[in-house]
């Protein structure tokens, strides 16, 4: 009997804070996800342009732009694309409706809640 290998879900993590990138690495460690990291809007946009991802997790504020630029690009590139925005400065409720953001999560992240949100986004 042949067994089908399930491919890991691909997640792009965009954040310019090395400490947050370490947090994400720890949260996803030992789980069946393939992570790619970008430390700027420009780097993340380039990755979105040439690769497929199942989920985008992005910070809001970068030195070279806003994470909402990435969520919009991600939505344009992939039909049904889902993005999570993680920020220390949450916008007003309803302010993100035009940016294809599934959910906005506050920093610091609550690990269990974050991972449940990721699982829900990928279903």
Specify the number of domains making up the chain: 1
Using the predicted structure, report yes or no on whether residue 115 has a pLDDT greater than 70.
Answer: yes
Distance (Å, rounded) from C-alpha 41 to C-alpha 120?
Answer: 25
4 within some domain:
no
- The CATH number assigned to the domain holding 25 equals 3.40.50.2300
Helices (H), 29-95: 41-50, 67-77
Question: Which pLDDT belongs to residue 17?
Answer: 96
pLDDT digits (tens, 9 = 90+) for 90-112: 777 666 777 778 888 998 999 99
- Sign for the pseudo-dihedral over CA of 49, 53, 56, 61: negative
19 within some domain:
yes
Q: Which of 77, 38, 72 is nearest to 54 (CA)?
A: 77
Using the predicted structure, report yes or no on whether residue 5 has a pLDDT greater than 70.
Answer: no
Q: pLDDT averaged over the chain?
A: 90
74 within some domain:
yes
The residue range of the domain holding 61 is 9-121
2 within some domain:
no
Question: Which pLDDT belongs to residue 80?
Answer: 79
């Amino acid at each position: 009997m042949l067994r089908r290998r399930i491919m890991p879900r691909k997640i792009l993590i965009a954040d310019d804070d090395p400490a947050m990138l370490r947090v994400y690495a720890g949260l996803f460690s030992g789980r069946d996800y393939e992570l790619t990291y970008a430390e700027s809007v420009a780097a993340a946009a380039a990755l979105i342009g040439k690769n497929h991802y199942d989920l985008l997790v992005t910070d809001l504020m970068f030195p070279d732009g806003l994470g909402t630029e990435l969520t919009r690009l991600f939505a344009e590139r992939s039909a049904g694309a889902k993005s999570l925005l993680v920020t220390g400065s949450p916008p007003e409720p309803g302010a993100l409706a035009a940016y294809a953001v599934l959910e906005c999560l506050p920093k610091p992240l609550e690990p269990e809640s974050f991972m449940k949100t990721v699982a829900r986004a990928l279903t």
